[in-house]
């Protein structure tokens, strides 16, 4: 990957095109981690709607242990987003190049640890599943906060409900019949560039899901390591720039 491209992708200076490209990469990673994680622990972790609903169901059914597990997963997603915000604001106040790269490097480290230790940890009865779900939720919160902050909430990557809703809205606007006998009213027009970006994000999430499921099926937990290396490839250059700058200043 060209160094300047990686620098634009996760560096401090942002463009709309860089945000879109990074969004597609992160949607792929989220889809892969979500699908692969489901094969590992039989639970999706990229969106909180299902988890909150499951907590409500478990409470009504009297299964307090499962309800507490779900609450822990929800809190870990929140803590992941909070951790990302702390890291980003810390880097912003110091004008670091790696303002958005550091949370992604943390996510990469967690994925590497899961890939290397997952097989052994899976033998620990009663602990592996809730711990894995919480870790994956933490990573999803971490990642979603990164793309949310750098794109000013225009792009999300870990869940599709909002994106698919926006796709439907844009399709509805494209299909709307603007009556020619009412020229005094503004015409309804679809935002085609936005629709294209939304469809790309959905497609990359789906492609990541296929890749993650195939990887876990054939490779096992080590399938998360290529995802981690992808994050390292796109996030390491801004971090190296900061280290080089600090070295010159000393």
Q: What angle do CA 74, 112, 40 make, to 5 degrees?
A: 55
**Given this model, what pLDDT does residue 250 score?**
67
For residues 219 and 231, give the distance between their C-alpha atoms in angstroms, rounded to a whole number: 19
DSSP labels for 63-127?
A: -HHHHHHHHHHHHHHHHHHHHHHHHHHHHHHTT-TTTTHHHHHHHHHHHHHHHHHHHHHTTSTTT
In the three-class reduction of DSSP (H, G, I as helix; E, B as strand; rest coil), residue 167 is classed as helix
For residues 151 and 145, give the distance between their C-alpha atoms in angstroms, rounded to a whole number: 10
For residues 42 and 85, give the distance between their C-alpha atoms in angstroms, rounded to a whole number: 29
Check if the beta carbon of residue 44 is closer than 8 Å to that of residue 38.
yes
Length of the chain: 250
What is the biggest distance separating any 2 CA atoms in the chain, rounded to whole angstroms? 71
For residues 36 and 219, give the distance between their C-alpha atoms in angstroms, rounded to a whole number: 11
**Given this model, what pLDDT does residue 38 score?**
83
In the three-class reduction of DSSP (H, G, I as helix; E, B as strand; rest coil), residue 189 is classed as coil
How many distinct helices (H) and strands (E) make up the chain? 9, 0
pLDDT tens, the chain, 250 aa long: 577 888 888 888 889 999 999 999 999 999 999 888 888 777 888 878 888 998 999 999 988 888 998 899 899 999 999 999 999 999 999 899 999 999 999 999 999 988 887 767 667 666 667 788 888 899 999 999 999 998 888 888 887 888 899 999 999 999 988 877 777 778 888 899 999 999 999 999 999 999 999 999 898 888 899 999 999 999 999 999 888 888 777 6
Query: Measured on CA atoms in the order 4, 9, 10, 14, is the torsion positive or negative?
Result: positive
Structural domain boundaries in the chain: 3-244
For residues 103 and 144, give the distance between their C-alpha atoms in angstroms, rounded to a whole number: 10
Phi, psi (deg, nearest 5) at residue 11: -80, 180
In the three-class reduction of DSSP (H, G, I as helix; E, B as strand; rest coil), residue 182 is classed as coil
**3-244 under CATH 1.10.150, yes or no:** no
DSSP labels for 2-37?
A: -HHHHHHHHSSS--HHHHHHHHHHHHHHHHHHHHHH
Own/partner long-range contacts of 110-114 (Cβ < 8 Å, ≥24 apart): 110/135, 110/138, 110/139, 111/33, 111/139, 111/224, 111/225, 111/227, 111/228, 111/231, 112/224, 112/225, 112/228, 114/221, 114/224
116: tokens are 């290397």
88: tokens are 């980003």
**Given this model, what pLDDT does residue 247 score?**
79
User: Which of 33, 36, 55, 57 lies closest to 46, judged by CA?
Assistant: 33
């Amino acid at each position: 990957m060209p160094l300047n491209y990686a620098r634009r992708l996760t560096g401090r200076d942002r463009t709309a095109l860089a945000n879109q490209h990074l969004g597609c990469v992160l949607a792929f990673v989220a889809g892969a981690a979500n699908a692969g994680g489901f094969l590992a622990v039989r639970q999706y972790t990229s969106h909180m709607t299902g988890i909150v609903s499951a907590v409500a169901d478990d409470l009504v059914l009297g299964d307090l242990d499962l309800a507490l597990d779900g609450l822990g997963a929800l809190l870990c997603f929140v803590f992941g987003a909070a951790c990302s915000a702390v890291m980003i604001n810390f880097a912003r106040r110091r004008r670091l190049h790696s303002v958005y790269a550091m949370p992604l490097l943390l996510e990469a480290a967690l994925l590497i640890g899961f890939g290397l230790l997952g097989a052994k940890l899976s033998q620990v009865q009663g602990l592996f599943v809730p711990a894995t779900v919480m870790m994956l939720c933490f990573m999803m919160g971490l990642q979603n906060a990164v793309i949310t902050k750098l794109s000013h909430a225009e792009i999300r990557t870990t869940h599709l409900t909002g994106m698919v809703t926006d796709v439907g809205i844009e399709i509805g606007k494209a299909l709307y019949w603007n009556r020619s006998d009412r020229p005094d009213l503004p015409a309804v027009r679809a935002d085609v560039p936005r629709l294209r970006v939304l469809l790309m994000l959905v497609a990359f999430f789906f492609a990541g899901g296929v890749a993650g499921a195939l990887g876990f099926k054939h490779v096992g937990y080590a399938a998360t390591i290529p995802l981690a290396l992808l994050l390292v490839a796109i996030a390491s250059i801004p971090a190296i720039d900061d280290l080089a700058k600090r070295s010159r200043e000393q």
